[in-house]
A and B are shown apart, each in its own frame.
Chain A
Amino acid sequence: MTTFEKIQEIIVDQLDKEESEVQRTTNFREELEADSLDLFQIINDIEDEFDIKIESEEGLSTVEDLVKYVEGQLEA
């Protein structure tokens, strides 16, 4: 599974959405109506899945932002 697919799966599971609703350009606050607690849970699951630390949720608004952040951390 690619990083995107793993993140997509986490979001689909946490927000109870369809895969088709969660694309790279999807803004999770505006389009998926995720609030801060939803985002905390998504970030928690991503941290566990990839064994990384996401220090701040600032600047993370789309699925692509998360994918880039995670890939950056994995390369570091």
Chain B
Amino acid sequence: MEPIKIKIHSTGKYVPEKKVSNDDLSKWMDTSHEWIYKRTGIVTRHLSEGEDTSDLCIKASRNVLEGRSIDPEDIGLIIVATMTPDGQSPSVASKVQAAIKATNAMAFDLNAACSGFVYALSTAEKMLRHMHLPYALVLGGEVMSKAIDWSDRKTAVLFGDGAGGVLLKKSEEDEQFLTEDLHANGNKGYALTSGEKKVSNPLVDTQEASGFLTMDGREIFNFVTKSIPKSINKVLTDNDTSIEEVDYVLLHQANARIIEIVAKKLGCSIDKFPMNIQTYGNTSAASLPILIDELAKDNKLFIDKKQKIILSAFGGGLTWGTLLLEIN
């Protein structure tokens, strides 16, 4: 029997309507457009005016399915990568499942912080091969604005809200998922924390932790600039592919300067590293699917020829991962 192959069938996204500029932020805290832009490349971000992560993910899902004449009952799996779910239960994925009437789908959330979408795509691609239904919906969605300490200007200026996703399909065509390299280093988990909640019950009375996002900038910077070029080189070597053969390297949109450093370390032109951080800020697990959908709608991806692309993300955990795909 021919091995089952998996392809990306369609893409979509949704971001909250409200656009907040660096100048807007400077009215809320002691910061400036110049300071933020020079260090991060961010100009605006979209922030929720009340929509929660499931609202963004449901709208992104509808955008993924739009005009594709897909019976939602043919979707066997929904994974939402998020570190900012509406709550612990029900999962965001379950809410999406209900909203799009994917009655035959199993659904769960996956948390690998900003690496979540790469982790979820890797998980879904493997699970779908063993399922009898033909489709899997993979989303990344975050309302980072509810995890941020708005009195901490070092982190508050970095993040934005949004959701994006792709529909995977079993296919008769060539395999799209070529090689991957996924990692975690829990020893450095302290470098990015969020949503911490202490045990409090009739046996222990604990001071409530703030739960706000904290980040050790230098630790994260060192980790990314060392691990990501290595991880990208690993998927290339494993597939006997050179960086010159790759059409685009899509990096998690955390910081434009970091993306430039990774490009330089790989000896690769920055033109191969599309960016939209200027518009959306760091949307954590949503950053890659939003970027993929923008490039697709811009006719830069999923065009009438084969393209090799790399997806690479890094974040809390610490977690990181890289996928090499050949799409068309």
List residues of A whose CB falls within 8 A of some B CB: 35-37, 40-41, 43-44, 57
Main secondary structure of the interface of A (DSSP, over half): helix
The residue on B at minimum CB distance from A39 is B218
A–B pairs, 21, beta carbons within 8 Å: A35-B38, A35-B39, A36-B39, A36-B217, A36-B218, A37-B39, A37-B221, A37-B255, A37-B257, A37-B258, A40-B217, A40-B218, A40-B221, A40-B222, A41-B225, A41-B261, A43-B218, A44-B222, A44-B225, A44-B226, A57-B218
**Interface code B114-152, partner A: CB below 8 Å = 1, 0 otherwise?**
000000000000000000000000000000000000000
List residues of B whose CB falls within 8 A of some A CB: 38-39, 217-218, 221-222, 225-226, 255, 257-258, 261
The residue on A at minimum CB distance from B219 is A40
Give the CA-CA distance A41 to B261 in the complex, in Å.
Answer: 9
B-chain residues with CB within 8 Å of residue A44 when the two chains form the complex = 222, 225-226
A-chain residues with CB within 8 Å of residue B38 when the two chains form the complex = 35
The residue on A at minimum CB distance from B220 is A40
The residue on B at minimum CB distance from A43 is B218
The residue on B at minimum CB distance from A56 is B218
Give the CA-CA distance A25 to B39 in the complex, in Å.
Answer: 25
B-chain residues with CB within 8 Å of residue A41 when the two chains form the complex = 225, 261
Give the CA-CA distance A41 to B106 in the complex, in Å.
Answer: 45
B-chain residues with CB within 8 Å of residue A57 when the two chains form the complex = 218
Give the CA-CA distance A57 to B217 in the complex, in Å.
Answer: 12
Beyond contacts A40-B218, A40-B222: 4 other A-B pairs, Cβ-Cβ < 8 A, are A36-B217, A37-B255, A43-B218, A44-B226
**The 8 residue pairs across chains A and B that have the minimum distance between CB atoms:** A40-B221, A40-B218, A37-B257, A35-B39, A44-B222, A37-B39, A37-B221, A44-B225
Give the CA-CA distance A44 to B225 in the complex, in Å.
Answer: 9
B-chain residues with CB within 8 Å of residue A37 when the two chains form the complex = 39, 221, 255, 257-258
The residue on B at minimum CB distance from A54 is B218
A-chain residues with CB within 8 Å of residue B258 when the two chains form the complex = 37
B-chain residues with CB within 8 Å of residue A35 when the two chains form the complex = 38-39
